[in-house]
Chains A and B, each alone.
Chain A
């Protein structure tokens, strides 16, 4: 690697301002992707500084590197395998003690390290006295004070990066684990050194420490080595759990001994953050405030977005018309207009929702309220097999399932997250409402409101039951332990919000977009072929498929027209109504559709009810499928979600229809 190139890895606990620092350093030169093979987000960026090309890699925020979670494995593997030139740990100056725990583990990885003591202004304001010189001396590494949000200390930090890179060698402070453990470390180190390949790749002391810590990830790493069995024998003779606790104790003991020399903490003052918390988590006001804020976020995401969605839709409608007018032959115009432009349009029509949602989520998270929200509702969510952080996605689901599924990213535990994603499609989104309005309005005119309300309730009920069911079968086990930091309240910055919004919005276009578009084109082909049929009519492929699956849906009381329109519902649920209009030959005329539905001998109130139940529960639209694939990173889970939805929908609609027929 050329001498003027430097690779820097950013690490640190969550909530220490790592993302802000990353943004301040790299500006707009960023790349967002995934770590190979996993769904953890990878961010990297460049900075040209004093003739050096500095590549910054933002590692996932973690509390430690014990491989407790995927994030920790990703962060650790990067440092060990890729050997960045310098590792910067961002330390929250108001919370040095716990942050140092990660430092003790990072040091063992053998990289050059710099501490960025972030938000030191807040610590000083609180009355803490920081002794930075002493800190440098004790930790034997550079410490730079920064206030990332105000752009303070950044050039000092980059200068330090350059000077560290030029240093030939570094000696790190290391933790002594006491005679007994140290002798074991030496013993294991000695065995490990017999494998020269291992010795050249990893710091051996670190490997030995990790092995004594019971780290299975490392055990797998060395399993191919000639000394694997010897190591296993040594470890088998020890009580690893005991060692693990002892070593953690030692690390904290060490921190406890050194911390008072670096920082004098002011304990007595009650901070503004504490005062706010008193109100926000107040016994009586806490829940109403929470609900009010959630309603506000919901209202903004879906009401404020509506004009922007209309703009997007109009633009694509106009493009489609242009295609129809100017492109010949007709089939090409239809493919472009209805298939491709329609498909792109349905991808983009979610953009306003998603952008606003992620902007608001970022504000909620950066302000520190998101953690409190989880704290407040965890009790209820735990009862149904989920956890506090599942609540906000479920709520958003009533607007649209797509942003809701994206919002599950705040749930760290994979099992909890999967369970939330799997039950979300049962939450009735806004696009299903037109179907209910049509059928409830036509067949239950007096009680339409009650019927629709019951359908919504059914959705919630199925979601809750499914969560319970999943937790006892596929995703067995209790929700992960809820051990959550409640970071101090801070004023969120608009800049961070916009960046967060942009990152996630463009991610959505790239990843989910392709699937949504592909799906739309396939549906178009099915509706337009074979050659020369009327679009979406009985003789088109989709009509033929509708006919052929009708026997399957017959027990639910659906004829072929309903079957076809349900197929169209895969594109987007609101299309069900439009395609029924086409099939009944009445087009867009709502009242004519109502009349023809009432006149159809196959349709009556029980069919309508069964249809509403089926529409509520059967496969979410293509957009949701696309986003499930993107967020779970697995076709298997995506397929499961579709199949499970279809089965539940069929069963419940069957019960409703057959039960209803018996009662009449």
Chain B
């Protein structure tokens, strides 16, 4: 298992969230949307211009910019 941040994953890869490094409102918003340690995330695709990224989490689609994704530490799952 390799630890990395969410923005480094490629479309199709799955990962489990280890830690959320964001602070303040960003952190709160991420928690509201289900981005909490233990959740499984799959990278669906990047936007045509390369940013933001679309993820699948808890059965729905969520998009965020790379800079927000960089705050989320994950371990990849095969």
Contact = CB atoms under 8 A, between A and B. Distances in A.
Interface of A: 63-64, 66, 68, 94-95, 97-98, 101, 241, 244-245, 248-249, 252-253, 256, 265, 267, 277, 281-284, 286-287, 371, 375-380, 382, 481-488
Contact of A252 (B29, B39, B47): B39
Given A97-B34, A256-B38, A483-B29, A379 B51 contact: yes
A375 B47 contact: yes
B59 interface: yes
A98 B68 contact: no
Contacts of A252: 34, 36, 38-39
Given A256-B38, A375-B47, A378-B52, A486 B62 contact: yes
B17 to A, nearest CB: 11
B30 interface: yes
Contacts of A66: 28, 32
Interface in B15-34: 20, 23, 25-34
B25 A481 contact: yes
A245 B30 CA distance: 11
Given A287-B48, A376-B47, A379-B49, A484 B32 contact: no
A482 B45 contact: no
B61 A486 contact: yes
A249 B65 contact: no
Contacts of B68: 481-483
Residue with the highest number of chain A CB atoms closer than 10 Å, among B51, B52, B64: B52
Given A249-B37, A281-B54, A287-B48, A68 B29 contact: yes
Contacts of B51: 378-379, 382
A281 B49 contact: no
Nearest to B46: A283
A486 B29 CA distance: 15
Contacts of B61: 277, 485-488
A95 B56 CA distance: 12
B63 A375 contact: yes
B29 A378 contact: no
A375 B61 CA distance: 12
A483 B62 contact: yes
Contact of A98 (B34, B45, B65): B34
A483 B68 CA distance: 8
B50 interface: yes
20 contacts: A63-B32, A63-B33, A64-B31, A68-B28, A94-B59, A98-B34, A101-B34, A245-B27, A245-B31, A375-B52, A376-B47, A376-B49, A377-B49, A378-B51, A382-B51, A481-B25, A481-B29, A482-B63, A483-B64, A484-B64
B58 interface: yes
Contacts of A64: 28, 31-32
Nearest to A92: B60
A95 B63 contact: no
A485 B38 contact: no
Given A94-B59, A97-B59, A482-B68, A379 B32 contact: no
Contacts of A287: 48-49
Contacts of A244: 28
Given A256-B38, A265-B59, 8 more contacts: A63-B33, A98-B34, A248-B36, A375-B54, A481-B26, A482-B52, A483-B62, A485-B33
Contact of A248 (B31, B47, B52): B31
A193 to B, nearest CB: 28
Given A94-B59, A101-B34, A281-B45, A68 B25 contact: yes
Contacts of B47: 281, 286, 375-376, 378-379
A282 B50 CA distance: 11
A181 to B, nearest CB: 16
B10 to A, nearest CB: 14
A14 to B, nearest CB: 11
A252 B62 CA distance: 17
Contacts of B63: 371, 375, 482-486
A371 B29 CA distance: 17
A101 B33 CA distance: 9
Contacts of A95: 58-60
A327 B65 CA distance: 63
Contacts of B49: 287, 376-377, 379-380
A68 B48 contact: no
A376 B53 CA distance: 10
B28 to A, nearest CB: 5
Best-buried of A265, A371, A380, A486 by chain B (most CB within 10 Å): A486
Contacts of B65: 378, 382, 481-482
Contact of A379 (B29, B33, B36, B52): B52
Given A281-B47, A282-B48, A485 B28 contact: no
Contacts of B37: 249
A252 B36 CA distance: 8
B33 A483 contact: yes
Contacts of A485: 33, 60-63
A605 B29 CA distance: 55
A377 B30 CA distance: 22
A160 B39 CA distance: 34
Contacts of A488: 61
Nearest to A290: B48
Contacts of B26: 481, 483
A481 B51 CA distance: 13
A380 B65 CA distance: 12
A486 B38 contact: no
Contact of B58 (A98, A376, A379): A98
Contacts of B38: 249, 252-253, 256
Contacts of B25: 68, 481
A484 B64 CA distance: 6
A376 B48 contact: yes
Contacts of B60: 94-95, 98, 485, 487
B56 to A, nearest CB: 9
B73 to A, nearest CB: 13
Given A378-B65, A482-B64, A483-B62, A98 B48 contact: no
